[in-house]
Amino acid sequence: MLKTALNNSHELLTEIIEPGDLVVDGTVGNGFDTLFLAKLVGKSGKVIGFDVQEQAINTTTEKLLAEKLLSRVDLHHKGHEALETMLTAQDKVKAAIFNLGYLPKSDKSIITKSDTTLTALKALLSHLTPKGRIIIVIYYGHEGGLSEKDAVLNYVKNIPQADFNVLSYQFINQKNNPPILIAIEKKAKKHAP
Ligand SMILES: C[S@@+](CC[C@H](N)C(=O)[O-])C[C@H]1O[C@@H](n2cnc3c(N)ncnc32)[C@H](O)[C@@H]1O
């Protein structure tokens, strides 16, 4: 059976994340991706997580504590657009995930927005390791979602092919705005012959 966008996003991350890696959860929400990443990076790795909602940070902190994984995660109650200010030039990020949209069962007016999403993406591209991946799952059925979808798609379509692979994955015969998964992969450096 074909994988859902969510299952595919986790598989694309599992394929590359190794113990010791630095990874980013750009939209922590209820913490499902944060926990998933914390398991993959092992004791020596680190997850940096962002959410603008205190409720999301608190819920996720509790989940991580229950699983004894909190030491692997730095949670920030702020927008992912702050990422660049937290990384040094030497910091290399192996993977990142963004689930765009609003937090289910929460305030639907608190949504990700294209300008801040793109600020975070641009910062990540310059810190991504070769073979590193950024996964973006675009939910766009809500008010404001279409303009963010268009802005993100327009941006990722124009990422230089010489340095990055960019993939789009979506069920195109489903009703109700099926999510679009975007995977950006930094190409491995070519060795001189
Ligand atoms: C679709 S939900 C994320 C779901 C989450 N990945 C999970 O596993 O439950 C989107 C989240 O993005 C958050 N958000 C909105 N704007 C943000 C920003 N600028 N930076 C970080 N998070 C943001 C919302 O508060 C919401 O929790």
Q: Which among 4, 32, 52, 62 is the best mutation to test ligand 1's pocket, defined by most ligand atoms within 8 Å of the CB?
A: 52
**CA gap 128, 9 in Å, rounded:** 17
Per-residue pLDDT of 157-186, as tens digits, reads 999 999 999 999 999 999 999 999 999 999
Tokens of residue 154, six digits: 């327009």
5-186: what CATH class?
Answer: alpha beta
* Ligand 1: centre distance to CA 71 (Å): 21
Q: Indicate whether residue 138 lines ligand 1 (CB < 6 A).
A: no
**N-term to C-term CA, the chain:** 42
Per-residue pLDDT of 65-121, as tens digits, reads 999 999 999 999 999 999 999 999 999 999 999 999 999 988 899 999 999 999 999
- Asked whether 34 and 57 are in contact (CB, 8 A), the reply is no
